Amino acid sequence: MINSHSSRLRVGAASLFTVILAGCGSSATTSSPAGSAGGAPQPAAERSISFGDGKVAQPYDDVLDAAFADLKTFWAANYEPTYGSPFTPVAAIYALYPERTDPVVGCSGPVAYSEVKGNAFYTSCGDIIVYDDSELVPDLTKRMGVASVAVVAAHEYGHAIQARAGVYSIPGIKTIDTEQQADCFAGAWTAHVARGEVPALAFGDADVKAGIDAMIDVADTPGTDSENDDSGHGSAFDRVGAFEEGFINGVARCKDFPTNPYPRVDLTFSPEDAATNGNLPFDDLLTGDTSISKSLDTFWVPTLEASQVAFTSPTLVAFTVGAVPACGEFTPEQMVNAATYCPDSNTIAYDDEFMHRLYDAYGDLSFGYPVAAAYSDAVQAAAGGTLTGEPRVLVNDCLVGAYLNSVLPSATPDVDGNQVANDPNQTIILSPGDLDEVVKTAVLFGDVASDTNNLGTAFEKIDSFRNGVIGGLDVCLQGNG
């Protein structure tokens, strides 16, 4: 189906996050690159892309060409220091569309448009990158903005780097390892652009957030055994983590991904969970053994008792927009579309209609996450925490991750062979897709810009949350939330 060491990008139907990308070349953003779109086209000899003889000029052409030009420069500066050998650029980059008559040349002859329709791919057969310039890129640009195609380019160029570095020859290398390394490379390049190091391109906070949205949308279907699937790419939780790891720590960290990947959480459905897609009925989240309150109490009450912290569990209170309860310093406007800890009444007040919409859109943990974050605020209050604003909210995100670590499935079943949580006292266990639901909700709640400093950007919130899930409570207490 694909050539050796090839990687493809597939775009499907629109989703709640603007567009679904499936397969490789998956990162995307929504910026307005500086001085790139809409200008006079460069002469063909100065182009990085072979646009072909039937090309109709598009507003994204200069953006994509500038991205590929800078990827060549970026890797010329970073490849040899990272891998210890000289860098050779990709042999050719092609825009392919039905009207093109001059050939796109691979190692085994011309590439037909049908081979790339709806996709983009790198293949070591000819050392080329080919993208669909009739459907894929116009659709991606329309849905996510012109910068989205630039980050797609960075992911695909990452596969070319892997071919040069011999990654595909590593014994036992899995698809998920190469895909998440390419996600990491895309993150490293995106950070380089976001730092203002590329005059022809400019990525702001909204662009990075849109890139996270795209990572979410390209994720494997919940329940996929991504670790062992030949086409596995990882959950949204894992793909966003790989992208952020590259963004924060750069190419040197990405190099180690095949043998030292960022920790992944690979969950598969039990037969009973598969029937419900792993989601409890909304009412079951409120009462009984499966309630989110009971699960939070199971984790936090003994944890705080062990630290000799006096704590009374907060009570959940639902409200409607027309009847917002009093909640200390919080205004009704701040409480709508949220769950808020109210210290005077020791309650967690949540917007019932909004939480139902979240549940319907994403699943049960999209309700569980904001409630758990508000509960974490109660924990900070009980412990005498003095943080305010964004730092406090980000610690809450980390604490939510630490709590959810306790309900991850344990690697060891009980004596009857049944799956149990890491904390055997828990009566609920995370299902595939639950962590992705939190990631999606964190994107929705995040500040638009990094200098807003109210709730943390989507990037910051997910990074804090992942730290808690992977590292547990100790990481949050060490200030690494």
pLDDT digits (tens, 9 = 90+) for 445-455: 887 666 666 78
**Could you give the angle at the alpha carbon of 263 between the alpha carbons of 375 and 204, nearest 5°?**
75
Q: What is the C-alpha R_g of the chain?
A: 24
Same domain, 55 and 117: yes
Same domain, 279 and 130: no
3-state helix, strand, coil in the chain (%, to 5): 45, 10, 45
Residue 1, pLDDT > 90, answer no
Residue at 408: amino acid letter: L
Return the H-helix or E-strand segment holding 354: helix 352-362
Phi and psi torsions of 237, nearest 5°: -55, -45
Can you give the pLDDT at residue 215? 75
Tens-digit pLDDT profile for residues 87-130: 999 999 999 999 999 999 888 889 999 999 998 899 999 999 99
Enumerate the β-bridge partners of residue 94: 50, 130
Helices 175-194 and 205-217, interaxial angle, to 10°? 170
Tell the burial category of 149 from Cβ atoms under 10 Å away from its Cβ (0-12, 13-18, 19+): buried
Highest mean pLDDT among 21-30, 415-424, 447-456: 415-424
Q: Where are the beta strands (DSSP E) in 284-332?
A: 315-319
Can you give the pLDDT at residue 158? 97
Residue 135 or 265, more confident: 135
Residue 379, pLDDT > 60, answer yes
For 97, what's the count of Cα atoms within 13 Å in the CB-facing half-sphere? Answer: 18
In a domain, 263, yes or no: no
Tell me the average pLDDT across 139-156. Answer: 83
pLDDT band at 235 (very low <50, low <70, confident <90, very high): confident
In a domain, 1, yes or no: no
pLDDT band at 149 (very low <50, low <70, confident <90, very high): confident
Residue 42, pLDDT > 80, answer no
Same domain, 238 and 331: no
End of a domain among 228, 255, 282?
A: 255
Same domain, 211 and 330: no
Residue 40, pLDDT > 50, answer no
Distances (CA, A) of 84 to 87, 89, 108, 160, 162: 9, 15, 31, 16, 14
Report which DSSP code applies to 114. G
In a domain, 139, yes or no: yes
> Are the CB atoms for 300 and 465 separated by under 8 Å?
no
> Are the CB atoms for 150 and 67 separated by under 8 Å?
yes
Residue 8, pLDDT > 60, answer no
Can you give the pLDDT at residue 163? 97
Same domain, 171 and 279: no
In a domain, 59, yes or no: yes
Taking alpha carbons only, the member of 152, 145, 146 closest to residue 131 is 152
Enumerate the β-bridge partners of residue 316: 348
Residue 387, pLDDT > 60, answer yes
Q: How many domains does the chain have?
A: 2
Residue 430 or 268, more confident: 430
DSSP-derived 3-state class of residue 327: strand
What does pTM read for this prediction? 0.83
DSSP-derived 3-state class of residue 243: helix
Same domain, 233 and 294: no
Can you give the pLDDT at residue 347? 97
Range of the domain at 386: 271-477
Residue 173, pLDDT > 70, answer yes
